[in-house]
Each structure stands twice: as structure tokens, then as C-alpha cells.
A and B are shown apart, each in its own frame.
Chain A
């Protein structure tokens, strides 16, 4: 009797394998989509899906750097908008302009990230406020630049990254350039976060800033670098999204929250100290898969919003619950 009433936490942890629930979620959602729509199992189906998710996935993986360091970056959506609007204004339909426009945009992105980082680290403005201010400012800059209506197209050389597919490939038959970008930048961001000293310092700063400082981590430099990484990935995401869909005046709006959501679904801790790049990319896949699935179910838009919100809360609550049970 008495033995039975004793709590046995260790047994509970062993019952569930230590796999991040986001992967289970993604697989379940993808299977559900394939059941609903077998065409999704064809290369055009899943490749289109991956192509669509690339911008958000890269963006989320970059935003994760700031989240792990214990901050938020709300300016990423507006950086995407600025990238697309700015590129269309500068390109003025000249296909050769792409070669200098993308590096220029990356430069602008780096400067924005640097300013975000400096304001947060030295002026001690909370990152939520600093990047919110940056977001409003950049949206204003993009609007002023374009006068509310963009004056140029994005040339095909620019849209190459987000729009074009390599065709006639055996087995998968087609491979979007965007998917190659996803893999390349995903690996780079994974390596930076999980295989370098910088990644370890990032976790240390987010987990306990004071302890990290005492251990000799250059806290300010690490945090500034995180904002720069985040801003650079926002530019890349802007290039890919603009490539996929073309110019609109508010193309990046809402992406900042989607990126944070993807990271959280992937198990990142909002106040810093933990997060995984592959799981965040899986979080982005899950988010997009939810949209696709609800669309396939043919639910009316308002019902879809409700279900979407509930699934998001449920997924994060489940992840938190599992982590607690695992005592991590």
C-alpha cells in the first residue's frame, strides 16, 4: 500500500522518449495533410510547401538567436518589408542590379541589427520596446521611400531565390532554389548556435546574465551579435519572400510574431537560455502546416482563426508540460 502511494517521477520521465514534441507535431500534421490530399505527397506538393515555409523558417531560426540571448526582436518583419520595398525601388527593372542590391540590403540589415543591439545593451532599453520602436521607424522609412506605392518591379534575377525551381531531377523531379537556401542557411544557423563558442555564450547570457558576466562572457558583444544575426536573416527572408510573391507595401507585417511563435512551438524558452535551431525550423513547418491543413479542411475563415489559435496554445502548453515532467 505505502509503496504504491509513493510518487515515482523517474518512471514517468522514462515513459516518454526525450524527443521534442514539435517533431511529432510536424509529422502528424504532414500525415494528416497527405491523408486529406494525396497530391501533397507528390514532389510539386511538398516542394511547394517547403518553398512557402522557407522565409519564415530562416527568419525564425535567426530570431531564435535573440530569444536564446533573453530578448525579443520585433523589428524583423519591418526589415523584410524594407528589404522588398528598397530592392524594388533601387532595382528599377534592371536585372543586373541584383548583384549589388542584395549585399547592400544585407549591409543595411547589419546596421539595423547593430543599432538594436547597442540600444538594448548600452542604453538599457528593454528589447521589446527598442525593437518595437525600430519596427515603427522602419515601416515609416519603407513607406516614405516608396511613397505608399512601389515604383519598380523586382527583376527576375532577384526573384530567382524565392521563385525558381531546378527541374528534371531524378526522384524528387524538382528542387526549388528556396529549399536549397533553407538547407544552407539552416545548417549555418544550426552550426552557429550549437557548435560554436558564440552559441554557448548566447545560451549562458540568456540563462543568467550575471553569471555569464562573472564567467567572463562579453555579454554586450554577444547580445549585439545576436541582434545582427537576427536582422541579417530578416533580410534573407525578405529576399526569399519578395522573390516568391513579388512586391507589396506591407509584405513583412506579422512575420515578427510568427517567428516568435515558431521558436516557441519549437520549445524555445521566451526569457532566454534554451532553444534549438532545428526545432525552430520544425516549428515554422508546423505553423505553416496548420494553415495548410485548416485550408484543406475547407473551414470558414473565422473558424480557422479560432482553431489556429487553440492549436498554438495547445502545442506550447504541451511542450511546457512535457518539459516540466521531464524535470528539465
Chain B
């Protein structure tokens, strides 16, 4: 009897936790806002997207003005995937453009909340930081650590994933997860007849920026009358992705593959190729291997982006803050363009590594392309 009660309690906890989290990732107001921002006009120079911002709200940072040389401290969630590798390179190259930055201190949390909280504590205790940049590993866990840094009087810049406090000077991020999902879903809806079958491939459940990509797209497919064959998790693994697509292909036709991130898009395309089936609409992201596959096979692709140039913007926001200049705030929302067929060729660069993310806004930097692993 006790066992049954225990089992029921555990089951209740599991399902309860699932239900209590689910609604956060499907917010119609946020969805509509991001949908508008995708097509909005951004302030700032059009050829330097990493300087552009939505809206007019600015923060006055005169109180943080400081003479150089500065120590810029950066608490990083991790450099544990190719997107973050490219972003971190963007950032270190941006640092080199600012002679006022005397020291750039980077601490890598290696994907652990606990380590990142300890890292921030250490940086604060060291007392050398002029400004603290944080790319949080997860939202809820890092909020208190960021609040602590604000309370210590440091200007704080948050970017990529957010925190639930508005104490930082600004939160730098592109339009967002819904926007990414919308761009991919719109492309599929435009290219697949009603009643078409869509396979949704996702990396893993439970991460806010990925959940919102999926929930936005799912709603749109429903509205457009497309049939979602399934939502499968690939763990970002090529072999698994290929197996999943092969299995679905054996059971029937697939009219489109929607992906929440592009790292395994090429594996999905290859599954069609190797079965001798025409490649349908397969969405991806801005990494070179997908862009080149798309061009070479000529299927109907699209590459929504989560631009790595936000890593540059974080440094720029820190520099502007220490100079006492105005900074877009409480959020610095960057444009989030999608690479479409018309502009595909201008983003392909065969000399860059296959997992280089093309929307890096880094082509104008002195060490491009070598610093990103490219060849002249």
C-alpha cells in the first residue's frame, strides 16, 4: 500500500512539474511581439547589425563612467557547442578593437549553474572588475547571482539567455525563440500544400529558447492545416537524426522537416539523399555545411538565425557603459534576419569551417577569417 502511495506521489510530482512549466513556453503576447519585431525597422547603421536596436528606450550610464584602462570580466555559461565557439571568437576579436580595455577576464562555467554562481562570486570577491558581462547558463538559477553583482555596484550586462531581474544595465539578445520558430514555420507553410506532413526535429526538451521556437511553430502549423507527423528529440546527434528521418520515411512521405537548430540539418538532408528520395523543405540554421548543402542540392531551404554577433554587442554595451554613453535598455534587441534563397550566395564562404555560423557580423574585423578557422 505504502508503495502505491509513494508511486502515486512520485508520478504526481513528475506530471505536476511538467504541467507547471509548460505554459511559460507558449505565450501568445510574446509570440505576437516577436512576430512584429522580425519585420520591424531597427535603429542604427544597417550595415552593422550588431549596433542596431529596436525601440527608443535608453539607459543613462553616466554614474558608471570610468577612466581606462578597464578590466572587463565575463562569466560565460560555456563554450561547449560550435555556436558558442563562433560567438566567443566574435567577442575576443571585438575586445581587441577597444584599447581602453586593459584586461579581459573570461571564466568558463562549462555548462554548470553551480560553477557559474561560484565564478561570479569569485569575480566579485576579486574586486578588479570594472564591468561584469554574464551569459547565463540558466535563467532561474543565475538570477540571484546577477542581483548580487548589481548590489555590489558593478554595471552588469547580460546577453543570450536572460535572467528575471531588471537590475542589469541591459540585456542584449536578438528577437528571440518564437521569432526563430516563426521564420522556419512560415517558410514551410508557404511551400507545402495544406494537409502536408511536417516532421519537427528538436535538440532536447526544457530549454526556454528552444521550447519557444517549437511552440510558436507548432501553433502555426495547426492554424495552417498542416499535419505534424511527430516531434522528435535528436540530442543534437547526427546519427540519431538520420535514423529518425529514415524511420519516418519508411512509414510514409515527409513534405517538410522543421528544425529548432541547424546543427543536424545536414544529417536530415542526407537521410533523404541516401534513400534516393527528393529532398523536401528542410529548414536549418546559418552554419556553412547546411548553406552549402542547400545550394548544392537546390532544395527549398531557409536558415533562420540566432546571430552570434550578439557576443560583439555585449562588449560594445560594456564599453559604452564605462564611457558613460547611452545604452539601449532594459533590453538591447538586435535584428534576427533569416537567410533566404535570394541572399544565400552572399553568406556562403567555402573557406570557412563547416560549423561556422555565417551570421557573425564579423566579416569587417581585422582577423577575419583566420581567427574563426577560415583560410584566406
Which A positions have Cβ atoms within 8 angstroms of B? Answer: 37, 39-40, 44-45, 48, 52, 55, 147-153, 163, 165, 241, 244-251, 291-292, 295-296, 298, 301
Q: Which residues of A contact B263 (CB under 8 A)?
A: 248
Q: Which of A150, A152, A248, A295 has the most CB of B within 10 A?
A: A248
Instruction: Give the residue of A149, A248, A251, A298 whose beta carbon is less than 8 angstroms from that of B373.
Output: A149
A-B contact pairs, 19 of them (CB 8 A): A39-B250, A44-B250, A48-B246, A147-B373, A148-B85, A149-B85, A149-B353, A149-B356, A150-B355, A151-B354, A165-B274, A246-B267, A247-B238, A247-B355, A248-B264, A250-B236, A250-B237, A296-B247, A298-B230
Interface status of B289 (Cβ within 8 A of chain A): yes
**In the complex, A163→B233 CA distance in Å?**
23
A149 to B79 alpha-carbon distance, docked (Å): 10
Q: Are A295 and B244 in contact (CB under 8 A)?
A: yes
Chain A contacts for B354, CB-based, 8 A: 150-153, 247
Given A150-B353, A153-B354, A301:B239 Cβ within 8 A: no
Q: Which of A55, A148, A153 contacts B84 (CB 8 A)?
A: A148
Q: How far is the CB of B254 from chain A (nearest CB, A)?
A: 14
Contact with A along B255-272 (1 / 0, CB 8 A): 000000001101100100
* Known contacts A241-B239, A245-B239; A163/B289 CB under 8 A: no
Task: Select one of B79, B232, B236, B275 contacting A248, CB under 8 A.
Answer: B236
B158-176 Cβ-contact flags toward A at 8 Å (1 or 0): 0000000000000000000
Are B239 and A244 touching (Cβ within 8 A)?
yes
**Those 9 A-B pairs whose CB atoms lie nearest each other, nearest first:** A149-B82, A245-B238, A245-B239, A148-B85, A151-B353, A149-B85, A149-B355, A151-B373, A39-B250
Instruction: Map CB proximity to A onto B210-246 as digits: 1 under 8 Å, 0 otherwise.
Output: 0000000000000000000010110011110111101
Q: A40-B250, A150-B353 are in contact. Are A249 and B266 (CB under 8 A)?
A: no
Measured between beta carbons, the chain A residues less than 8 angstroms from B80 are 148
Collect the chain B residues with CB atoms within 8 Å of residue A149's CB: 81-82, 85-86, 353, 355-356, 373
Residues of A near B264 (CB, < 8 A) are 248
Q: A149-B85, A248-B237, A292-B247 are in contact. List 14 more A-B contacts (CB 8 A).
A: A45-B250, A147-B85, A149-B81, A149-B355, A152-B353, A241-B239, A245-B239, A245-B241, A247-B354, A249-B82, A250-B236, A250-B237, A251-B238, A295-B244
B81 touches A296 (CB 8 A): no
Residue of B at shortest CB range from A154?
B354
Closest B residue by C-beta to A147: B85
Q: Shortest beta-carbon distance, B11 to chain A, in Å? A: 12
Q: Which residue of B lies closest to A36 (CB)?
A: B251
B80 to nearest A CB, angstroms? 7
- Contact assessment for A249 and B270 in the assembled complex, using a CB-CB cutoff below 8 Å: no
B145 → A minimal CB distance (Å): 24
Residue of B nearest to A44 (CB): B275
- CB contacts under 8 Å to A, within B151-202, are none
Count residues of chain B with CB under 8 A from any CB of chain A: 36
B251 touches A249 (CB 8 A): no
Which residues does chain B contribute within 8 Å of A244, judged by CB atoms?
Answer: 239, 242
Tell me the dominant secondary structure on chain B's binding face: helix
Minimum CB distance partner of A301 in chain B: B233
* CB nearest neighbor in A for B14: A302
Inter-chain CA distance A40–B236, complex, in Å, is 26
Q: Which residues of B contact A301 (CB under 8 A)?
A: 205, 232-233
A147 to B244, alpha carbons, bound, how many Å?
29
CA of A167 to CA of B263, assembled, Å: 30
Partner of B267 from the list A40, A151, A245 (CB cut-off 8 Å) is: A245
**Chain A residues with CB under 8 A of B246:** 48, 52
Closest B residue by C-beta to A165: B274
Closest-CB distance, B288 to chain A (whole angstroms): 10
Mask: chain B, 316-338; 1 = CB below 8 Å from A; 0 = not:
00000000000000000000000
Given A149-B373, A301-B233, A249 and B353 contact (CB-CB distance below 8 Å): no
CB distance from A105 to the nearest CB of B (A): 18
CA distance A304 to B227 in the complex (A): 22
Please measure, in the bound complex, the distance between the C-alpha atom of A150 and the C-alpha atom of B239, giving whole angstroms. Answer: 16
Chain B residues with CB under 8 Å of A165's CB are: 274
Chain B residues near A295 (CB-CB < 8 A)? 244, 247
Which residues on A sit within 8 Å (CB–CB) of B243? 52, 291-292
Are A246's CB and B238's CB within 8 A? yes
Is A248 a contact of B238 with CB atoms below 8 Å? Answer: yes
Q: How far is the CA of A20 from the CA of B74 in the complex (A)?
A: 58
Q: A267 to nearest B CB, angstroms?
A: 26
Q: Give A244 to B356 CA distance when docked, in angstroms.
A: 21
Set of chain B residues within 8 Å of A247, measured between Cβ atoms: 238, 354-355
Please report the C-alpha to C-alpha distance between residue A151 and residue B239 in the assembled complex, in whole angstroms.
19
Q: How far is the CA of A151 from the CA of B369 in the complex (A)?
A: 12
Say yes or no: A249 contacts B81, CB within 8 Å: yes
CA–CA, A163 and B250, complex, Å: 18
For B267, list chain A residues within 8 Å (CB). Answer: 245-246
Provide the residues of chain B in CB contact with A148, threshold 8 Å. Answer: 79-82, 84-85
**Closest-CB distance, A147 to chain B (whole angstroms):** 6
**Most chain A C-beta atoms within 10 Å of own C-beta, residue among B242, B243, B251, B275:** B243
Q: Which single residue of chain A is at the shortest CB-CB distance from B86?
A: A149
Residues of B within 8 A of A152 (CB): 353-354
Q: Chain A contacts of B266 at CB under 8 A?
A: 246
Which residues on A sit within 8 Å (CB–CB) of B275?
Answer: 44, 48
Q: Which residue of A lies closest to B232 (CB)?
A: A301
CB-contact partner of B251 in A39, A48, A163, A291, under 8 A: A39
B267 to chain A, nearest CB (A): 6
Nearest to B244 among chain A residues (CB) is A295
A50 to chain B, nearest CB (A): 12
Q: Which of chain A's residues have a CB closer than 8 A to the CB of B250?
A: 37, 39-40, 44-45, 48
Residues of B within 8 A of A39 (CB): 250-251
- Which residues of B, 271-298, contact A by the 8 Å Cβ criterion? 274-275, 289
Given contacts A149-B85, A149-B373, contact A296 B239 (CB under 8 A): no
CA distance A251 to B263 in the complex (A): 12
Q: How far is the CA of A124 from the CA of B223 in the complex (A)?
A: 64
Most buried by A among B80, B242, B247: B247
User: How far is the CB of B172 from the nearest CB of chain A, in Å?
Assistant: 22
